[in-house]
Structures are given as structure tokens and as C-alpha cells.
Amino acid sequence: METDSLDTSLIVRVLTRDDYKKSKQTLDFLQTSSAKHQIFDLVISETVYVLTTQYGKTRQEAIDLLSFFLTRFSDSFIYNQTLTSLVFPMYLSHPKLSFNDCMLSCYAELHHAEPLFTFDKKLAKQASNAKILA
């Protein structure tokens, strides 16, 4: 089976519908393509960032939109479901941490590379696997 990859801009167009033509073009593509579409971790991170900073979505709204999108096309998407299943709840339950900090903590857990050493006091206080390098 053929595999391609999707950029953040396509996902954002669908989720925000701020450009009807591009949103429709993306949806038509996703509904008619027989390929599997890879969504890299960086694209998920960028999508959350764009939704919260450029479109004023709350953390909950951004995660809900992205989760719905990933579920809607789950048969044609390849993405790190294990990571998102850990990162999404952590991001929602730790409002002082960035999405990237949550991803980093979850990567450390998934790769059995703990503790996650840091100088970031906020990260060390919020993520149980993060430790200040002393």
C-alpha cells in the first residue's frame, strides 16, 4: 500500500475551515485517496500550537478537534497513537506545561529513558519523571 505524509497546514485547514477551498480540497483528498497518510509527531505538536496560539482555541478545544480528526480518518492515518494517548491527557491536566514538554516527558517514558534530566523547574515539578540536574 502506498504511503504519503501530511503537513500541518492541511490539518489546520480542515480543523479551522478558515479557507473553505483548501479545507474542501483536503477533505476530498482524504476521502478519495487510497494511500495511508503518515502524520508525524511534529505535525501533531505544530497543530496544537497553531490552534492554541493563532486561532485562540483552548487546550481542550484543540485536543478535541485533533482527536476527532484523527478518529474520523483513523483507517487511513498512521500516527503515534501510543504517544498521543499519553500526551493528550497530560497536556490537559498540566496547564503550566507546553505540549512539547508533555511530549518530551512521554517520549522519555515510552523509551524507558528516565529520569528526564532538566533545568526546567516547572517541568520537574509537573512531570513525575523529570528531575532537576543538580
Q: Which domain holds residue 20?
A: 1-79
| 85 lies in the same domain as 66 | no
Cis peptide bond upstream of 115, omega within 30: yes
Section 107-119 average pLDDT? 98
- The number of distinct structural domains making up the chain is 2
Tens digit of each residue's pLDDT (9 = 90 or more) over 57-91 = 999 999 999 999 999 999 999 999 999 999 999 99
User: Are 62 and 91 in the same domain?
Assistant: no
- Please count the CA atoms within 13 angstroms of the CA of 78 that sit on its side-chain side: 9
Same domain, 20 and 31: yes
C-alpha cell at 41: 509527531
Q: Do 3 and 60 have their domain in common?
A: yes
pLDDT tens digits, 19-54: 999 999 999 999 999 999 999 999 999 999 999 999
Amino acid identity for residue 50 in this structure: V
Is the pLDDT at 1 greater than 90, yes or no? Answer: no
